[in-house]
Chains A and B, each alone.
Chain A
Amino acid sequence: AQKVTQAQTEISVVEKEDVTLDCVYETRDTTYYLFWYKQPPSGELVFLIRRNSFDEQNEISGRYSWNFQKSTSSFNFTITASQVVDSAVYFCALRPTIQGAQKLVFGQGTRLTINP
């Protein structure tokens, strides 16, 4: 079965703090893709990153970084020096590669609130 678990339903921190959003996935595929999306209060879903299962290098983009650990089936997202504009719901997603199963499997999302 394919499943994504974001155990943190809500997180609230004060501006400038670092915050990590957890994502744990389940799949029997040996090749798959992982994604993070941001949904700000305006409602649109914004693509943040895609990761291949065979590339375990961590990625950094400005204040955002992602830690992919295949051994623990986790793909965590860290925001450094958080800002109020980072307030949003963040979704982790998995795309297996079983033939025909081209859907994204989404976690339930983590609502992140950054307080000034």
Chain B
Amino acid sequence: DAGVIQSPRHEVTEMGQEVTLRCKPISGHNSLFWYRQTMMRGLELLIYFNNNVPIDDSGMPEDRFSAKMPNASFSTLKIQPSEPRDSAVYFCASRNRKYEQYFGPGTRLTVT
């Protein structure tokens, strides 16, 4: 079975540009999570969805960040405008009904 799929794997962009990260969860999983990982702060939960509905976005840093899940097989995390401090690895994870979260390979974002 395919795991969680994320694209792109690497993104380098200039400050001020819009960045869109994409995620395809594991089929049949009903929850989806977006995380950010940095050396300074470790793993931070940004937002999660249950059945495509955003449940908790309290971890989203600020209005520059937005996330959508238009259907059960696709989600996006958008940063507009991007800033150097947004540089991090962004993980998407999906969860089955046994509460097991499976992570994607991550997107390494560098904002110059």
Which A residue sits closest to B59, measured CB to CB? A103
Q: Are A50 and B100 neighbours in the complex by a CB distance under 8 Å?
A: yes
Q: Mark A7-51, 1 if CB is under 8 A from B, else 0.
A: 000000000000000000000000001010100000111110010
Whether the Cβ atoms of B45 and A100 lie closer than 8 Å is no
Q: Does the CB pair B43–A43 fall under 8 Å?
A: no
Interface residues of A in 80-98 (CB under 8 A from B): 91, 95
- Asked if B31 contacts A106 (CB within 8 A), the reply is no
Q: Contact at B56–A103, with CB atoms within 8 Å?
A: yes
Q: Are B48 and A47 in contact (CB under 8 A)?
A: no
Report yes or no: A50 in contact with B98, Cβ–Cβ below 8 A.
Answer: yes
Which residues does chain A contribute within 8 Å of B42, judged by CB atoms? Answer: 106, 108-109
- Chain A residues lying within 8 Å of B33, measured Cβ to Cβ, are 103-104
Judged by a CB distance under 8 angstroms, whether A102 is at the interface is: yes
Given the interface contacts A91-B43, A102-B31, does A43 sit within 8 Å of B105 by beta carbon? yes
Contact status B100-A103, CB under 8 Å: no
B55 touches A43 (CB 8 A): no
Complex alpha-carbon distance, A95 and B45, angstroms: 13
B25 at the interface (CB under 8 A from A): no
A47 near B99 with CB under 8 A, answer no
Nearest to B6 among chain A residues (CB) is A44
CB atoms of B98 and A102 under 8 A apart? no
Which residues 83-112 in B have Cβ within 8 Å of A in the complex? 89, 91, 93, 98-106, 108
Chain A residues, CB < 8 A from B104: 44
Given contacts A50-B100, A106-B43, are A45 and B48 in contact (CB under 8 A)? no
Query: A43 to B106, Cβ gap below 8 A?
Result: yes
Q: What CA separation (Å) do A65 and B108 show in the bound complex?
A: 32
User: In the complex the two chains form, is B56's CB within 8 Å of A100's CB?
Assistant: yes
Q: Which residue of B lies closest to A43 (CB)?
A: B106
Contact among B31, B48, B56, B106 for A44, CB-based, below 8 A: B106
Task: Provide the residues of chain B in CB contact with A106, threshold 8 Å.
Answer: 42-43
* Chain A interfacial positions (CB closer than 8 Å to B): 33, 35, 37, 43-47, 50, 91, 95, 100, 102-104, 106, 108-109
